[in-house]
């Protein structure tokens, strides 16, 4: 069994967090053990045997963790002698996403893995908000969006890692999360210069909430192809930006940076959008960005009625539709994609 310490500066190309690497093991931090479920841990664990100079198995994932074993594992962890295999990094980080602060402070995770944990947590909070758009869920989402903003402000190149993650998992279940992340990435690309927290935070929250009105639309309707909808169903779906506006008002979200993407993300420059058939300058920059991000992510997502397109093909399609989408925003999308090697290749 070979032990190798984690490489804290993995190249961009190795960003997918679940890529197997049969030869790497990481220490398990005591805070991480606190994040694991009480009775059963999600990864195999190994103890470092000084005398033999090797790792040996001490726990098989899924087995019951009784009190004595828990104490032993905790003591080993505190002594820096407890390890997990990086082959199980996905299960490890998914657990950590329930305690983001511990994950971001975990010295055993690379920045790429921390990005993954952060994105998983964002997805969970966003989903909770969409399931129940209430003040408590909004607070939770707001806090984690602020953490994301701070994370991006600390190092502007991290946005590329986030964009990489979007393209690692272009799944229908993640479409809403991916659209929010892409909107924020395009916004930062449009700004071109460092954006302070007091601006990035409300803009980011607006992007995570722009489709909140869909929480009022039944799953049966939202899953239907638009051509299959009868007029009354189509009207109901097309009213979702208004429903989102109403939800935002109920939650005292009146900041234009939050409201604009919610009410305008389906408006189109030629007046073919909804709900208000706005045209050209009537649509704000954040509404245009949300519209481009929403359409782009829909195109790269594999859906039952529509197979996914390659990222640059989807961006080219948006660029071609110059009567519909803001071309300066579309060009920033292309520039952004070209800056992420794994996406552009
Ligand atoms: Fe929408």
Which pairing describes strands 45-49 and 25-27: parallel, antiparallel, or unpaired? unpaired
What is the 297 CA–ligand 1 centroid distance (Å)? 12
- Candidates 112, 67, 116; CA nearest to 91 is 116
* Other Cβ atoms closer than 10 A to 182: 26
Distances in whole angstroms, Cα of residue 249 to Cα of each of 13, 83, 84, 329: 43, 49, 47, 28
What is the 139 CA–ligand 1 centroid distance (Å)? 22
Residues 242 and 263: beta-carbon distance below 8 Å: yes
Question: What does the DSSP assignment read for 156-204?
Answer: TTHHHHHHHHHHH---GGGHHHHHHHHHHHHHHHHH-S---HHHHHHHH
Distances in whole angstroms, Cα of residue 223 to Cα of each of 130, 217, 233, 325: 16, 10, 12, 24
Check residue 227 and give its pLDDT.
Answer: 66
Query: How many residues belong to the chain?
Result: 345
Exposure of 248 in the CB half-sphere (CA atoms within 13 A)? 28
What is the 2 CA–ligand 1 centroid distance (Å)? 50
Query: Which DSSP symbol is given to 49?
Result: E
Which pairing describes strands 82-85 and 54-59: parallel, antiparallel, or unpaired? unpaired
Residue 82's Cβ-count burial label (10 Å; 0-12, 13-18, 19+) is: buried
Can you list the pairs that 243-246 forms with residues at least 24 positions away whose Cβ atoms lie under 8 Å?
Answer: 243/213, 243/215, 243/216, 243/217, 244/209, 244/210, 244/211, 244/212, 244/213, 244/214, 245/213, 246/213
Task: Note the pLDDT tens digit of each residue in 214-234.
Answer: 998 877 777 766 667 778 888
Q: Which residues pair with 27 in a beta bridge?
A: 83
Residue 174 has pLDDT above 50, yes or no: yes
Residues 290 and 210: beta-carbon distance below 8 Å: yes
111-344 topology per CATH:
Hypothetical protein af1432 (1.10.3210)
Separation of alpha carbons 109 and 46, rounded Å: 17
Residues 282 and 273: beta-carbon distance below 8 Å: no
Contacts of 75 (CB under 8 A, 6+ apart): none
What is the 237 CA–ligand 1 centroid distance (Å)? 8
What is the 127 CA–ligand 1 centroid distance (Å)? 15
What is the 56 CA–ligand 1 centroid distance (Å)? 51
Q: What is the mean pLDDT of the chain?
A: 86
Model's pTM, two decimal places? 0.80
Domain boundary assignment for the chain:
12-94, 111-344
What is the 67 CA–ligand 1 centroid distance (Å)? 49
Q: pLDDT-based confidence at 303, cuts 50/70/90?
A: confident
Residues 30 and 78: beta-carbon distance below 8 Å: yes
What is the 261 CA–ligand 1 centroid distance (Å)? 10
What is the 233 CA–ligand 1 centroid distance (Å)? 15
What is the 266 CA–ligand 1 centroid distance (Å)? 6
Residue 13 has pLDDT above 70, yes or no: no
Query: Which DSSP symbol is given to 66?
Result: -
Check residue 105 and give its pLDDT.
Answer: 79
Separation of alpha carbons 271 and 262, rounded Å: 17
What is the 197 CA–ligand 1 centroid distance (Å)? 26
Most confident of 59-73, 232-246, 257-271, 306-320: 257-271
What is the 275 CA–ligand 1 centroid distance (Å)? 10
Task: Note the pLDDT tens digit of each residue in 22-43.
Answer: 468 888 888 788 888 888 999 9
What is the 241 CA–ligand 1 centroid distance (Å)? 6
Check residue 9 and give its pLDDT.
Answer: 32
What is the 296 CA–ligand 1 centroid distance (Å)? 13
313-330 burial string, b = 16+ CB within 10 Å, else e? ebbeebbeeeebbbbebb
What is the 248 CA–ligand 1 centroid distance (Å)? 14
Check residue 7 and give its pLDDT.
Answer: 30
Separation of alpha carbons 31 and 33, rounded Å: 5
Task: Note the pLDDT tens digit of each residue in 235-260.
Answer: 888 899 999 999 999 999 999 999 99
Separation of alpha carbons 135 and 74, rounded Å: 37
Residue 322 has pLDDT above 90, yes or no: yes
What is the 92 CA–ligand 1 centroid distance (Å)? 33
Separation of alpha carbons 43 and 29, rounded Å: 13
* Other Cβ atoms closer than 10 A to 300: 21
Residue 5 has pLDDT above 50, yes or no: no
């Amino acid at each position: 069994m070979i032990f190798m310490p984690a490489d804290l500066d993995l190249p961009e190309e190795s960003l997918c967090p679940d890529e197997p690497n049969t030869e790497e093991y990481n220490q398990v931090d005591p805070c991480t053990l606190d994040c694991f479920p009480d009775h059963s841990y999600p990864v195999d664990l190994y103890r470092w045997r000084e005398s033999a100079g090797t790792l040996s198995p001490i726990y098989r994932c899924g087995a019951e963790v009784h009190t004595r074993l828990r104490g032993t594992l905790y003591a080993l962890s505190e002594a820096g002698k407890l390890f997990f295999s990086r082959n199980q990094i996905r299960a490890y980080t998914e657990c950590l996403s329930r305690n983001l602060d511990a994950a971001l402070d975990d010295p055993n995770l690379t920045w790429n893995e921390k990005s993954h944990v952060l994105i998983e947590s964002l997805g969970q909070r966003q989903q909770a908000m969409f399931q129940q758009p209430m003040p408590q869920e909004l607070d939770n989402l707001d806090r984690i969006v602020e953490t994301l903003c701070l994370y991006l402000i600390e190092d502007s190149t991290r946005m590329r890692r986030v964009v990489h993650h979007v393209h690692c998992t272009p799944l229908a279940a993640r479409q809403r999360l991916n659209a929010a992340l892409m909107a924020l990435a395009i916004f930062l690309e449009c700004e071109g210069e460092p954006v302070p927290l007091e601006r990035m935070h409300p803009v980011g929250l607006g992007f995570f909430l722009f489709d909140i009105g869909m929480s009022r639309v039944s799953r049966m309707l939202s899953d239907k192809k638009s051509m299959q909808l009868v007029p009354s169903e189509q009207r109901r779906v097309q009213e979702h930006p208004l429903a989102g506006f109403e939800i935002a008002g109920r939650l005292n979200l009146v900041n234009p940076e939050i409201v604009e993407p919610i009410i305008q993300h389906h408006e189109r420059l030629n007046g073919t959008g909804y709900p208000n058939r706005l045209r050209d300058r009537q649509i704000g920059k954040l509404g245009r960005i949300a519209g481009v991000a929403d359409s782009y992510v829909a195109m790269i997502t594999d859906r039952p009625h529509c197979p996914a397109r390659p990222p640059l093909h989807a961006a080219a399609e948006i660029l071609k539709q110059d009567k519909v989408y803001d071309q300066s925003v579309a060009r920033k999308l292309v520039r952004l994609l070209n800056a992420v090697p794994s996406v552009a290749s």
